[in-house]
Amino acid sequence: MRKSYKGLLSIFAIMALLLASACSGGNETSGDQSGDAAKDGAVSAKVGVISWLTGAGAGYGEAITNGLKLANKEIKEQGKVDIELITEDSAGKQEQALSSAQKLMNSENVSAIIGPTLSTEMKVVGPEADLNGVPIMGTSTTAAGIPQIGDYVFRDSIPESLAIPASIEKAIEKYDVKKVAILYGNDDVFTKSGYDTMKKVAEDKGLEILTTETFQKGQADYNAQLTKIKNTQPDLILCSALYNEGAVIMDQARKMGIDVPFVGGNGFNSPEVIKIAGDAADGLIVATPWFAGKDDQKVQDFVAKYKEEYGKEPDQFAAQAYDGMYLLANAIEKAGSDDRDAIRDALAETEGFEGILGEMSFDEEGDIVMEPTVLTIKEGKFQLFE
């Protein structure tokens, strides 16, 4: 018996040693940066980034970190704030997101955190950051209930509860909608949360919901659901799907002869839809915080710079991250130090901030307040919906 205890003990000892040795490097450098007046009066601060950099969703993480880096480069050049970004990978998993948050907060002593990528990760990381008093801002978390986690939790991505009503309202105005059909993916946080909003808005507007159909992630054939929807003859289809499933749905719907417009959630808003569905994508209406074709000098500068730096068009994740970085830098500048509480207070006071997404403010809960842009796909291109 004694042997087995010994074995167990030695395993733990080895583990602890490994961990300690691997991370001690980071430990030594932290702690001594007590903030202000590093060079030319610039406020210096450490900001942690938790992003999904490996695995299925690495594309999101890449866009986000690219946006952050680009913004940080510009901020450094302006010389008012000197931010050191420390990026950690979460692999899209809650456990890893939590571990990396603990690392950033305790080993690296960051003043604030940007990320994580997914709402599910935020639900695990948010309470811990709030408890430790570290301001944390999601740039891509759109599910309900995120800023309500605590005083230190913010986001600059517009929630579905703001985006979907805007697009439905405009669609009603234009097409004189009375009857709708709803189709949604019920095994994904994102699409499920979008559906809840759609249902609520449709009820509030007094629309008749003819049928509600569901599908699962990765499904390839939607004919059963679409046939049912077609038979009820709706004026409009509310479809809460991510772009990869959504594009296939539109394609199959058009082939079946359903020619009414679709209203999608934020996840449906991707240039990929046009690539996958082609002409069938015409008639999709989405509300988005980000429109690359906006007639605004700031937006066009960002698009040009991003293209030059990374060789591709920025998507909404890059844009939201870019603005998020500026929001935080602004707050750090106002706070005048890298003190966590001061940054939180400055962030909460943000009002009328002009970013590439538009004019942004935080409400008392830490949620973003801004006007989404409603877009539609026409002739194979995203255009303003009017």
Instruction: Give the residues lining the site for another protein (CB under 8 A).
Output: 1, 4-5, 7-8, 11, 15-16, 18-20, 22-23, 27, 53-55, 58, 87-89, 91, 94-96, 98-100, 102-103, 105-107, 120, 123-124, 127-128, 131-132, 143-145, 186-189, 191-193
List the one residue out of 192, 211, 191, 202 whose CA is nearest residue 165: 202
**What phi, psi does 273 have (nearest 5°)?**
-55, -45
Q: In the beta sheet, which residues pair with residue 378?
A: 381
Considering beta carbons, is residue 189 or 369 the nearer one to another protein?
Answer: 189
Is 54 in a helix, a strand, or coil? coil
Identify which of residues 144 and 210 has a Cβ nearer to another protein in the complex.
Answer: 144
User: Are 344 and 238 spatial neighbours (Cβ–Cβ below 8 Å)?
Assistant: no
Question: Closest approach of Cβ 258 to another protein, in Å?
Answer: 26
State how far Cα 95 lies from the chain centre.
Answer: 19
CA 261 to chain centre: 26
- Smallest gap, in angstroms, from Cβ of residue 306 to another protein? 20
Alpha carbons 98 and 351: distance in angstroms, whole number = 30
Shortest CB 325 distance to another protein, Å: 19
User: For residue 218, what are its two tokens?
Assistant: 């990765």
Give the nearest distance from C-beta 130 to another protein in angstroms. 11
Count the helix, strand and coil residues of the chain and give each as a percent rounded to the nearest 5: 50, 20, 30
Smallest gap from residue 153 Cβ to another protein (A):
12
Please state, in angstroms and as integers, the Cα–Cα distance from residue 120 to each residue in 115, 160, 245, following that order: 12, 15, 20
CA geometry: angle 245, 246, 249, nearest 5 deg: 90
Nearer to another protein among residue 194 and residue 261 (C-beta): 194
Question: At its nearest, how many Å lie between another protein and the CB of residue 149?
Answer: 8
Between residues 6 and 275, which has the closer beta carbon with respect to another protein?
A: 6
Q: Which two tokens stand for residue 121?
A: 């990760």
When the beta carbons of 4 and 34 are compared against another protein, the nearer one is 4
Q: Based on CB atoms, which residue is closest to another protein, 254 or 340?
A: 340
